[in-house]
């Protein structure tokens, strides 16, 4: 049985993961409208992954005797300056999610909820990958600078990366 305190904290994490999914969806839509099909594909894939992270939490809470709640998601930003701004936001958002996961792990230790602590280790590992991926994309953008041809290749590369990302969401879907 899950404690009310842990259940409430996990439901807050559901809100953050669900909001992440909507945020990346909004970014993907902006990129698609601006002609960045590869970036859009990458962000849509990322949005799907975040939704899988949210569903994994839903199932865990409910399996442990709690009640997962669908929160009223805040509307995400819909306009962006450029692709660089989007990926700066993605990176800072992933750092925020990592901090929240770490706080959840700390709460589990305080509450002596080792089952949830164990469950959250998947998220700890996942966040390391998410932050690393965001930094990798920013590094590519730094190399390109303002070069239009470089942006064309970057967009194409991101479409390829989206196709190769088997990571997070897929493992999560099968892991529980």
Q: What is the mean pLDDT of residues 121-145?
A: 95
Residue 126 marked in a binding site: no
How far apart are alpha carbons 139 and 141 in whole angstroms?
5
Residue 94 marked in a binding site: yes
Residue 136 marked in a binding site: no
> By C-alpha distance, which of 40, 41, 49, 44 is closest to 83?
40
pLDDT tens digits, one per residue of 68-83: 999 998 899 999 999 9
Helices (H), the chain: 4-33, 37-63, 83-110, 114-144, 148-164, 168-175
Domains of the chain: 4-175 (1.20.1260.10)
Is 165 in contact with 134 (CB distance < 8 Å)? no
Residue 41 marked in a binding site: no
How far apart are alpha carbons 31 and 35 in whole angstroms?
6
Residue 174 marked in a binding site: no
pTM of the predicted model, to two decimals?
Answer: 0.89
């Amino acid at each position: 049985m899950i404690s009310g305190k842990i259940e409430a904290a996990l439901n807050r994490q559901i809100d953050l993961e669900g909001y992440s999914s909507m945020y990346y969806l909004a970014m993907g839509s902006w990129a698609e409208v601006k002609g960045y099909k590869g970036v859009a594909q990458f962000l849509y894939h990322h949005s799907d992954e975040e939704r899988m992270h949210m569903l994994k939490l839903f199932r865990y809470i409910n399996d442990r005797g709690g009640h997962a709640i669908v929160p009223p998601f805040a509307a995400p930003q819909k306009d962006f300056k450029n692709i660089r701004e989007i990926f700066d936001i993605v990176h800072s958002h992933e750092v925020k999610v990592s901090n929240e996961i770490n706080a959840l792990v700390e709460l589990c230790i305080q509450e002596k909820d080792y089952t949830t602590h164990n469950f959250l280790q998947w998220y700890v590992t996942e966040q390391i990958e998410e932050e690393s991926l965001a930094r990798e994309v920013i590094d590519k953008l730094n190399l390109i600078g303002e070069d239009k041809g470089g942006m064309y290749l970057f967009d194409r590369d991101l479409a390829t990366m989206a196709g190769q990302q088997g990571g997070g969401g897929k493992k999560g879907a099968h892991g529980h």
